[in-house]
Structure 1
Amino acid sequence: MLSWVLITVKVDMLMPMSINTPEPYGRPVVQLDLDPVAPLPFHQLARAGRNGWWRSLVGTVVVAVGGFLLMMVLIAASEIGGLVLGRPTMDGMRSWGSVGDTALELLSIAIAIPTVFVAARWVQGRPAGTVSSVAGRLRRRWLGLCLGLALPVVVVSLGVMFLLSTLGESSGDEVEWVGWRSFFFALIMLILLVPLQAAAEEYVFRGWLMQAVGAWLRSPWIAVLPQAVLFAAAHGWGTVWGFVDLVVFGALMGILAVRTGGLEASIALHTLNNFISMGVAAGIKGALESDETAADMDWVSAAIDISSMLIYAATVLWFARRRGIAAAGIAALPARGAHEIPPHHWPVGGAPLGVRVIADSSGSVGVSDRRDTADTSQWTPATSGFTQTGQVEPTDARLHGPEQACTDHVAPRPAGGPLAPQPPDALS
């Protein structure tokens, strides 16, 4: 008992000496530079990367040029393969049949996805997943729910349009079935490639272009409208109604991306719309070779399609509110790294090796006598009183908003073993 009291008195005498120790031993209170980061909406996630107004411009060039080069490589491979295998020529290019040519067309669009990820990661210096959502990834459960919401809307819309087009055709025009074998292979190809093609268009227009504009401007409307017009222009000019339909689609999908914090809702509708329409065409002989697109809609089809898109958008927004889908967040921001104080030997008799005081980017503060400070499982929480090892006694560890202060004191280990984990004021 007497030895324990003597140890306690010695520790209490040393603690003030550690606090007031002058240079060169350093200050016991250390300010940790951990700046708070405000949540970012989806269209401004490019600001999560490195600063620089030119990065969005350079990244757009990377996306455009990179996609074009990959497309040229794909076409060259197709031409070389067709030449070796003796494939016939159609419109000056080697043809692989209706299914093969459709697959090549879908794949030439899908290869834009890696160019977007590369531009986000290496040009803007942010995680590639921030192009997907504010969570830094595609939210799979939310994507699955959006697919379920889009399915009845797309089926009803395309069904009504197909029925009206069939009634408007003359009796001499007959639809010929392609056969189960051709339909099966076409369906497998569509299942594999249509989701990639639809997602690529969403990543380029609703993802990259919206966030590139959002890196400069705060208003989401200025980010939504330009990409909608560019999206319609990329599908070519057919009819005025078709162009309006595509602009409305691009604008609504952009609004959903901003309001739901990600591309899941737009990818779901785009994928099912393309898959079902192309799946129907796969069963009709010669339909996949048709050059007709959504840009060639008449006013009746455009009215039906726009109405279905409005219904889908309203339903998605309602479910997003009910389920608390985040529209803003810090989506896997680049880690600033742990803030570390190097080992420090305090001038006390019998003191152990220097102790590291560590604070990570989330604001957690701890102390450790290990040199491998990356292993946070070895941290000792910065609380008042003796630690279980009896080596460190932090008497002041505070977090004041963006400024954190941590004071640590090193107490000597007694010869008989570790100190008991009791606060000093409880000892008598």
Structure 2
Amino acid sequence: MPITEYHRLARTPQLRWWKSVLGTLFIVAGGLALAIGLIVVAAIVAVLAGRPLDADGLPTLGPLPDLALTFLAVAALLPPTFAAARWIQGRPAGTLSSVTGRLRWPWMMACFGVAVVAVGILLGASAFLPAESSSADGGESLVGWPTFLVSALVAVHVVPVQAAAEEYVIRGWLMQAIGAYFKRPWLPIAVQALVFAALHGWGTPWGFADLVVFGVVAGWLTVWTGGLEAAIALHVANNLLGTVLLAAFGDLSTDETAADMPWQLVAVDVPVLIAYGMIVVFLKRRLLAGRGNDRNGALVGGPEARMHPAVAAVDAKADQTAEAGVDLAQTVSQDAQQPAVEPNRALSPDGVDALRSKTVPGVENVGAVGDGL
């Protein structure tokens, strides 16, 4: 049985258009509720600790805790996203991860290695840009090792879940919600890329365009590889290395995002993103060589992918319909190849019996015609 493509995994027997709308509202409301809860708890802790107020008049715990809180507020979207898939759409939450119903960790780590090199090239190129054109120049001097190690340790714990949450909501939930109604993946990929860029705010036209390219590459790799692993790896590497670089210069309070990227950096980033996609495709093909797998199958670790029961019902019904159509066509074709009865020649009793034995599904027994002759 063929494996359903990733963007079609929400097309289950329980599919209803209003469930996708309700699920989206549930994710937004649930994520906001959890994020507000985190912010309130942090504010209470800051007040009890006697911390000063920030520029907006709110209690602050300092640059590093505030940055961690920002990442965790985004990560708060992850639980309601899984809950929406399971409770509202009535499908396994694992189908948000990949066609295998789980996150393929060995494959994701392989992609992460490639992503680290790609992001490293981008950050290295930014060092050669003029100071006013670089968004990663940070402070003028490096901080001490103790401060840096603490910041890096916090980043390692909060950045991956923040980046994964964005991927599960945009490349997972949103693309599958749209893809359930479109066989081809290009419209879902385009829509999620535009939404992804818009959610990062408007900085420069070049920054917005770069985010769209990031979304297209990540979305296409998600569909092509059958899971979020390549997109998560790229997103985590990008955010984690960028945060660690800022921590090295003690510039964690910066409010710049990828939307503020200058054109000089975009000119480097776009080829790097495309190269990352090409290398991931190359690795996937090499690892699948000789296995006879569908490209959406399990790549590394575990048995070959099998369609989830919640999704299989739709494709099984389609397969049965197609097979029935083929059988009917073959039967009609075989009967059509039988020698025609010559006109003006009386049928013998044996000939009538022979005709009676041939029945085409959906057509009356032609032997009845012989009874009227």
- Give deviations 1:145-185, integer Å, cap 9, x for gaps: 1012212111111111123245978xxx9612222221111
- Give deviations 1:183-220, integer Å, cap 9, x for gaps: 11100001101110111111111011000101222220
- 2:164 maps to amino acid: A
Given that 2:12 and 2:311 are in contact with CA atoms closer than 8 Å, whether structure 1 keeps it comes out as no
- Is 1:153–2:118 an aligned residue pair? yes
Deviation at 1:330, TM superposition (A): 4.8
- 2:226 maps to amino acid: G
- Is 1:333–2:309 an aligned residue pair? yes
Alpha-carbon distance in structure 2 between the residues aligned to 1:278 and 1:295? 16
**Could you say if the C-alpha distance between residues 334 and 218 of structure 1 is closer, same or farther in structure 2, counting changes exceeding 3 Å?**
closer
Alpha-carbon distance in structure 2 between the residues aligned to 1:163 and 1:120? 45
- 2:129 maps to amino acid: L
Give the one of 82, 90, 110 matched to 2:75.
110
Give the one of 171, 180, 184 matched to 1:219.
184
Could you tell me which runs of 5 or more consecutive residues in structure 2 were left unpaired when the two chains were aligned: 289-293, 298-304, 317-322, 325-373
Alpha-carbon distance in structure 1 between the residues aligned to 2:23 and 2:2? 24
- Give deviations 1:58-84, integer Å, cap 9, x for gaps: 111111111111111111111122222
Q: What residue is the counterpart of 2:89 in the other structure?
A: 124
- Give deviations 1:366-391, integer Å, cap 9, x for gaps: xxxxxxxxxxxxxxxxxxxxxxxxxx
Q: What residue is the counterpart of 2:209 in the other structure?
A: 244
Alpha-carbon distance in structure 2 between the residues aligned to 1:152 and 1:89? 40
Deviation at 1:267, TM superposition (A): 0.6
Alpha-carbon distance in structure 1 between the residues aligned to 2:78 and 2:226? 19
Hey, which of these two has a bigger chunk of helix by percent?
Answer: 2
- Is 1:308–2:259 an aligned residue pair? no
Q: What residue is the counterpart of 1:383 in the other structure?
A: none
Q: What residue is the counterpart of 1:266 in the other structure?
A: 231
Q: What residue is the counterpart of 2:300 in the other structure?
A: none
Give the one of 82, 93, 97 matched to 2:58.
93
Alpha-carbon distance in structure 2 between the residues aligned to 1:333 and 1:167? 54
Give the CA RMSD over aligned residues.
2.3
- 1:152 maps to amino acid: V
Matches within 5 A, 1:280-359: 280-285=245-250, 287-324=251-288, 326-327=295-296, 330-334=306-310
- Give deviations 1:256-276, integer Å, cap 9, x for gaps: 000000000011111111111
**Could you say if the C-alpha distance between residues 335 and 163 of structure 1 is closer, same or farther in structure 2, counting changes exceeding 3 Å?**
closer
- 1:145 maps to amino acid: A
Q: What residue is the counterpart of 1:142 in the other structure?
A: 107
Matches within 5 A, 1:199-214: 199-214=164-179
Given that 1:49 and 1:126 are in contact with CA atoms closer than 8 Å, whether structure 2 keeps it comes out as no
Give the one of 64, 74, 77 matched to 2:41.
77
For 1:95, what is the secondary structure of its paired residue? coil
- Give deviations 1:306-335, integer Å, cap 9, x for gaps: 110000001111111222273266543349
- 2:45 maps to amino acid: G
- 1:327 maps to amino acid: N
Given that 2:71 and 2:162 are in contact with CA atoms closer than 8 Å, whether structure 1 keeps it comes out as yes
Q: What residue is the counterpart of 2:350 in the other structure?
A: none
Hey, which of these two has a bigger chunk of strand by percent?
Answer: 1
- Give deviations 1:325-350, integer Å, cap 9, x for gaps: 732665433499xxxxxxxxxxxxxx
- Is 1:50–2:23 an aligned residue pair? no
- Give deviations 1:125-155, integer Å, cap 9, x for gaps: 1110100000101101111110122121111
- 1:108 maps to amino acid: A
Given that 2:139 and 2:249 are in contact with CA atoms closer than 8 Å, whether structure 1 keeps it comes out as no
Deviation at 1:49, TM superposition (A): 5.8
Alpha-carbon distance in structure 1 between the residues aligned to 2:180 and 2:311? 20
TM-score if structure 1 supplies the norm length?
A: 0.66
- 1:332 maps to amino acid: H
For 1:257, what is the secondary structure of its paired residue? helix
Aligned pair count reads 300
Alpha-carbon distance in structure 1 between the residues aligned to 2:133 and 2:32? 40
Q: What residue is the counterpart of 2:342 in the other structure?
A: none
TM-score if structure 2 supplies the norm length?
A: 0.76
Q: What residue is the counterpart of 2:319 in the other structure?
A: none
**Could you say if the C-alpha distance between residues 331 and 63 of structure 1 is closer, same or farther in structure 2, counting changes exceeding 3 Å?**
farther
Given that 2:193 and 2:216 are in contact with CA atoms closer than 8 Å, whether structure 1 keeps it comes out as yes
- Is 1:63–2:39 an aligned residue pair? no
